[in-house]
Amino acid sequence: MKKKKSLGVNAFLNGLRSVLNLFFPLITFPYVSRVLSVSGIGIYNFSNTYISYFILIAGLGVATYAVREGAKYRDNKDKINEFASQIFSLNMIATVIAYLLLFASLIIFKNLYNYVSCILVFSLQILFTTLGTEWIYTIYEDYTYITIRSIIFKIISIALLFLLVRKPEDYLIYAAITVFSAVGSNLLNFIHARNFIHIKLTIKTNWKYHLKPILVIFASAIAITIYVSSDTTILGLLKNDYAVGIYSTSVKIYQMVEGLLSAMLTVTIPRLAFLWGKKHIDEYNQVLAKVFNLLGILGMPVAIGLMMLSQEVILIIASKKYLPSVNSLRIISWAMIFSLFAWIFSYCVLIPAKRESLVLRNTVITAIENIILNFILIPYMSYDGTSLSTVIAEFTVMIMNGYSCWDIIKPVIFKKDTLKNLLDSIIGCVGIVVVCLLCDYGFNSLILKTIFSVVLSVIMYGAILILLKNKNAYSMLDKAKMILKSKL
């Protein structure tokens, strides 16, 4: 067996990759929004969104299933080769179906004719996402290669953007650069994956064994897509483009922060799937406890910090004209805590335990609830109502997912260390609130207020955890000391 990689290192690498993915649009959008025409941006965004549905079809839920099942076989070369070849073949069939549906839609729907060129450019993502086989790297917990690759291709893409996108009609070039940034290296992924697995197309696939769980996971992905996109759609129908623009700003910031935290947790999925598949329950519980503690010690203060600094974040990332989204961001920040716990229950517990049908049920119920709440709240609260419906829906799915895996998580949650860690984090968050309120009164400068709020909140939170003798805080402190000693 290959040397087991540190979850901490993997979390850092995957978090770094997510930060790069988040910062790429932050760097590029201010430039392209000034260079390209409004209609060009519109064609670009519509085409990108349109292709995302076909990427979903081509993906077929394969990646999640492959990580869960493949983690059990990674120590057996013959079995993992056979399994990976079968999964890749299924993925390629789904990719062909996605392309057939795409081409049919372009022929049938005449109102898509103006978007054909841009849609075809973005359609390259369908094939190259499949060829990327990132699930192989996840199975083997190898995040170093894909992180380095991501850094290189992001830098090249930014350079190409400033060199080639110079005129209002250059939206096709911008689309091509976006594709290059997202999946340009996936062919290299496919070649490099031979260091782990030898993949080949095969018709000898155990359809009955693979398809049922894959389709259940796929149905869950569709339900999640409907659940996520319904907010904006209903808000647009009941209100107007201005309301959508305000809400979209708060959601984009929320998703950026949540995406960074979930990326740090994603690296635990193959380890948990491997341990559950091998019936190493004690080790599984230990890793799951670490995940809960990490979420408690990082997720809660980040959510509270975002809520307290919503106005400053909006002013820095967006501008004064987006200030109406401050309250929306404050409301939706609460959803982050519920969403991340729901995510852990789903991907770290239910799916490794082969309870994906319960994930589907819970997601569908929550999607229906979210749609109903939007129709009730939006007429009275507009975009703030949309944020509130998201918070309620995320809380619901957290409770339902937690209940669905209660028999597994109960011994982990009721461990003394887990409960103490949660209480310590809550007390630390009170310190963050106090610091942010004091900085709000003490500074007039936006930049100084934000910097001091963040720095002093981190110091206050860390000091409280140390005073409360939090084991996780001491562990992080010891690791930091070791790193400093090695550098000096």
Each residue's pLDDT tens digit, 446-483: 999 999 999 999 999 999 999 998 888 888 787 777 76
Residue 220's identity, in one-letter code, is: S
DSSP string, 111-169: GGGGGHHHHHHHTHHHHHHHHH-HHHHHHTT--HHHHHHHHHHHHHHHHHHHHH--STT
* Confidence label for 14 from pLDDT (cuts 50, 70 and 90): low
Indicate whether 332 pLDDT > 80.
Answer: yes
Does residue 28 form part of some domain?
Answer: yes
Chain segment 78-135, per-residue pLDDT in tens:
888 888 889 999 999 999 999 999 999 999 988 888 889 999 999 999 999 898 888 8
Does residue 89 lie within any of the structural domains?
yes
* Residue 393 placed within a domain: no
pLDDT in tens, 430-442: 999 999 999 999 8
**What is the pLDDT averaged over residues 30-37?**
73
Residue 488 is predicted with a pLDDT of 58
Let me know if 19 is exposed, middle or buried by CB neighbors in 10 A (0-12, 13-18, 19+).
middle
Which of the four pLDDT bands, split at 50, 70 and 90, describes residue 60? confident
pLDDT digit string (tens) for 213-249?
888 888 888 887 777 777 877 887 788 767 877 887 7
- Residue 13 above 50 pLDDT? yes
What is the number of residues in the chain? 488
Residue 23 CA neighbour count, 13 Å, CB half: 12
**Domain-ending residue, one of 147, 178, 205:** 205
For a pLDDT cut of 70, what percent of the chain falls above it? 92
Mean pLDDT across the chain: 85
Domain containing 427 equals 415-487
Sequence-ordered list of residues with C-beta below 8 angstroms from that of 174, at least 6 positions apart, any chain: 32, 36, 40, 44, 161, 165
State how far Cα 50 lies from the chain centre: 20
pLDDT in tens, 158-186: 899 999 988 888 889 999 998 988 787 78
Predicted pLDDT of residue 12:
66
Look at residue 168 and tell me if it is in a domain: yes
Cβ-based burial of 445 (10 A; exposed 0-12, middle 13-18, buried ≥19):
exposed
Sign of CA dihedral 269, 275, 278, 282: negative
How confident is the model at residue 3, as a pLDDT? Answer: 46
Q: Is a pLDDT exceeding 70 seen at residue 18?
A: no
Q: Sort 380 into a burial class: Cβ within 10 Å, 0-12 / 13-18 / 19+.
A: exposed
* 488 SS3 class: coil
Question: Is 62 within 8 Å of 94 (Cβ atoms)?
Answer: yes
The pair of structure tokens assigned to 441 is 């009164």
Whether residue 426 is contained in a domain is answered as: yes
Residue 135 lies in a domain: yes
Q: What is the mean pLDDT of residues 177-201?
A: 84
For the record, the structure tokens of 362 come out as: 């819970």
Q: Which of 156, 171, 205 is the last residue of a domain?
A: 205
Does residue 165 sit within a domain?
A: yes
Which of 205, 220, 255 delimits the end of a domain?
205
Phi-psi region of 78 (alpha: psi -120 to 50; beta: other; left: phi over 0): alpha
Distance (Å, whole) CA 69 – CA 80:
10
Is position 394 within any domain? no
Total number of domains constituting the chain: 2
In this model, does residue 326 exceed pLDDT 50? yes
